[in-house]
Structure 1
């Protein structure tokens, strides 16, 4: 007798910077979520779609749940919490290096009302000694009744296959929601903006990361050389930040452009002409109309 096809939605939640996006990119096999060593990198729900002959798992990589400090932060936490109501299972991911923290208790308190299986995923096990894991597992087990506790390394791929098998067991029989070659439900425009933002996060320090947004102004085919023209604005909150992002004699912006163009060309499968500029929009993270304009539409959540 042939096994029935399984499908379902799995939310990935956790404190900022525990490796949610790294896991997503590992499983999907290509970059759809941006990675950075800065906290709160992910700002929107990123849906990654994994499909094989037996199953389709739609992963929702939520923004890290944290105590918000501005309207953008409120929006990010609201997205993450709402995702818990829409899914078949929840992966609560923690960083093995950091262990149990107040931020985890903040999330566990919110999980108390959830009626879906919750799996504790201890990520980054490649960075700790195995002896450190047992007391950590015991501590989390005492805090919440997890369906299962699974240690992994998303970066190295350790135990990720086992995790996928466990998730599959808990998924209902269901349809294939997306074509088998589709890996995300986000339009290319969104992914391109995220790839550009990732490069700014990688290259800048201090106050820059959280005060930037990227708006794609135009994507079109150039007639003269068949390259795709991508024009994008990097939004910052202060003039001093604009200077940092542009860099001395434009070097920083040029480096952002070179790195982003390489990823965008892989995404589009075509040569790209990338034009970037920097705009100042003071205090945009606290202005609802600008949050909407930059793609953070609170009315949808």
Structure 2
């Protein structure tokens, strides 16, 4: 009788939990989410606050489910929409099994970074401080040497360097910055964290910092991501799956399509209309050949409408073509967009409009 291969036994314990990705604007949160999942589930652009809604993406493997939560980037609130996005981002941290604080390795610590550190220091959730964009920096503190891990003076613990993660993919047009190294930049962020902890300890002698680990990674090259993913797995509790195990995201399709359109607008009009644009999908009709989408682009002033449309409708035509191309690549099926431009004064202060766009009530 021929040997019958044994079926692998299922894992004894299923683990599931929530990992929130937080940080100031433009640290690469959505890029990291896409890299960890291996699919484009969050829209990415070089313009700040491309992410205005919480986006959940689900990593499934035998015996494990990680629900990643991509949050709006924190930035100085110059208008009510920024204030609302900041409150949303901070409020989503509570209840997470682990919080990934994304820090931009290409820049020194900013006030918004310190603000997040203060928020997380007061929370009980374990913190993974992820120094992202390390591909833009040198890997050594001095010629011939590499940066060793530095101890944390007040609470927490330090993870080993994770800049040599496998599965790196080549990236073009990303030139390393020469004025700093990964080690020096990481030391600056560690110092900022220690200062936050010391201030809390001075105010409250009984202050106990949350568990902390440091990671060095690059969402652009995948460096350090296997180590980060493994560390998240180790923290998750035994629990039933939070979502079906074949689900990639719970993000409604219309909101994602609207984000793709808005990202194309931002790339072209970020100087003229940095935060005055919102998009709502009105109708989606799918046929065997293509997906037909009707969407409305909202602006706040009459003077902004011709900017979006452009001379002889060239701007909106370019936006439409670029969004159609991106959506076809993501979904594997041609998309035909019909775009309208409407003036809605003070939409960013209107709760019902914000709900329509998915910015509140998520």
Q: Normalised by the size of structure 2, how large is the TM-score?
A: 0.77
Q: Which residue of 2 aligns with 1:147?
A: 212
2:96 paired residue among 87, 93, 102: 87
CA distance in 1, matches of 2:358, 2:126: 31
Q: Give the number of aligned pairs.
A: 297
1:283 corresponding residue in structure 2: 346
Please tell me whether the aligned partners of residues 105 and 132 of structure 2 are also in contact (alpha carbons under 8 angstroms).
yes
Quote the offset at 1:260 in angstroms: 1.1
Q: Max radius of gyration: which structure?
A: 2
The equivalent of 2:279 in structure 1 is 214
In the TM superposition, what whole-angstrom CA distance separates every residue of 1:219-266 from its partner, at most 9, and x where no partner exists? 1246xx753321001111223322222122111111111121123234
Q: How does 1:193-232 map to 2 (within 5 A)?
A: 193-221=258-286, 226-232=289-295
Look up the match of 1:39: 48
Contact 2:47 2:270 in 1 (8 A): no
Distance 1:7 1:154 in 2: 23
Aligned partner (choices 229, 251, 268) of residue 164 of structure 1: 229
Equivalent residues of 1:68, 1:74 under 8 A apart: yes
Task: Name which of structure 1's ranges 72-81 and 129-138 shifts more when overlaid on structure 2.
Answer: 129-138
What TM-score do the two structures reach when normalised by structure 1?
0.92
Q: Which residue number in structure 1 is paired with residue 35 of structure 2?
A: 26
**Partner residue of 1:5?**
14
1:241 aligns to what?
304
1:67 to 68, 71, 76: 76
User: In the alignment, what sits opposite 2:319?
Assistant: 256
In the TM superposition, residue 139 of structure 1 has moved relative to its aligned partner by 3.4
CA distance in 2, matches of 1:133, 1:271: 42
TM-superposed CA distance for 1:174, in Å, is 1.8
Tell me if structure 2 keeps the 8 A contact 1:120–1:149.
yes
- 1:270 deviates by 3.2
Identify unmatched segments of 5+ residues in structure 2.
1-8, 142-180, 195-208
Cα pair distance change 1:185/1:259, threshold 3 Å: same
Counterpart position of 2:109 = 100
- CA apart distance, 1:268: 4.2
Which range moved further: 45-54 or 144-153?
144-153
Q: Distance in 1 between matches of 2:357 and 2:85?
A: 14
Is 1:125 matched up with 2:139? no
CA distance in 2, matches of 1:265, 1:11: 29
Aligned to 2:246: 181
CA contact (8 A) 1:70 1:286 kept: no
- SS at 1:26's partner residue? helix
Structure (1 or 2) with the greater helix fraction: 1
Residue-by-residue CA offset, 1:17-37 (whole Å, 9 max, x unaligned): 000011111122222211111
**SS across alignment from 1:210:** coil
Structure 2 residue 32 is matched with structure 1 residue 17 = no
1:23-56 CA distances to partner (integer Å, 9 max, x unpaired)?
1111222222111111121111000111112421
Moved more, 243-252 or 19-28: 243-252
